[in-house]
Structure 1
Amino acid sequence: MTTPLTVEQLHPRLDQLTLIDVRSPGEYAAGHIPGALNIPLDQLDRALPALLRAAEHGEIAVVCASGNRSGTACGRLEAAGITTFDLTGGTTAWSGSGRPLNRPAGGRPVWAMDRQVRMTAGSLVLLGLLADLARPGARWLSAAIGTGLVLSAVTNSCAMAKVLNLLPYNRPRPGAPTLDATLATLPGAAR
Structure 2
Amino acid sequence: MTTPTALSTDEAHSRLHELTVVDVRTPGEYAGGHLPGALNIPLDRIEQALPGLRQATERGDVLVVCASGNRSANACRILAGHGIDTATLTGGTGAWSANGHDLHRPQGAARTVWGMERQVRFTAGTLVLTGLLLGLLVHPAFQLLSAGIAGGLVFSALTDTCGMAAVLAKLPHNRPRAADLDETLAVLRDGGRPRP
Structure-2-length-normalised TM-score: 0.90
Which string of whole-angstrom CA distances, capped at 9 and with x for unpartnered residues, describes residues 114-136 of structure 1? Answer: 11001100110010000011222
Partner of 2:55: 53
Partner of 1:82: 84
Q: Would you say 1:163 and 2:167 are equivalent positions?
A: yes
Report deviation, 1:172: 4.0
Alpha-carbon separation, structure 1, partners of 2:109 and 2:182 = 21
Partner of 1:100: 102
Could you say if the C-alpha distance between residues 39 and 49 of structure 1 is closer, same or farther in structure 2, counting changes exceeding 3 Å? Answer: same
Partner of 1:123: 126
Any idea what SS the aligned residue of 1:100 has? coil
Q: Is this contact kept in 2: 1:32–1:103, CA < 8 A?
A: yes
Partner of 2:194: none
Alpha-carbon separation, structure 2, partners of 1:86 and 1:2 = 7
Which string of whole-angstrom CA distances, capped at 9 and with x for unpartnered residues, describes residues 55-103 of structure 1? Answer: 1111101110011101101111111111212110110111111111111
Task: For 2:129, give the aligned amino acid.
Answer: L
Report deviation, 1:106: 2.4
Q: Is this contact kept in 2: 1:57–1:187, CA < 8 A?
A: no
Alpha-carbon separation, structure 2, partners of 1:107 and 1:18 = 26
Which string of whole-angstrom CA distances, capped at 9 and with x for unpartnered residues, describes residues 137-178 of structure 1? Answer: 1100001111111222222221111111111110142xx661
Q: Would you say 1:18 and 2:20 are equivalent positions?
A: yes
Which string of whole-angstrom CA distances, capped at 9 and with x for unpartnered residues, describes residues 38-65 of structure 1? Answer: 0111111111121112111111011100
Alpha-carbon separation, structure 2, partners of 1:78 and 1:10 = 20
Alpha-carbon separation, structure 1, partners of 2:115 and 2:190 = 31
Q: Is this contact kept in 1: 2:26–2:174, CA < 8 A?
A: yes
Q: Is this contact kept in 2: 1:63–1:70, CA < 8 A?
A: yes
Gap regions ≥5 residues in structure 2: 192-196
Alpha-carbon separation, structure 2, partners of 1:156 and 1:107 = 32
Aligned length, in residue pairs = 187
Alpha-carbon separation, structure 2, partners of 1:41 and 1:60 = 15
Alpha-carbon separation, structure 1, partners of 2:61 and 2:109 = 31
Paired-residue identity, %: 57
Structure-1-length-normalised TM-score: 0.92
Cα RMSD of the aligned pairs, angstroms, is 1.5
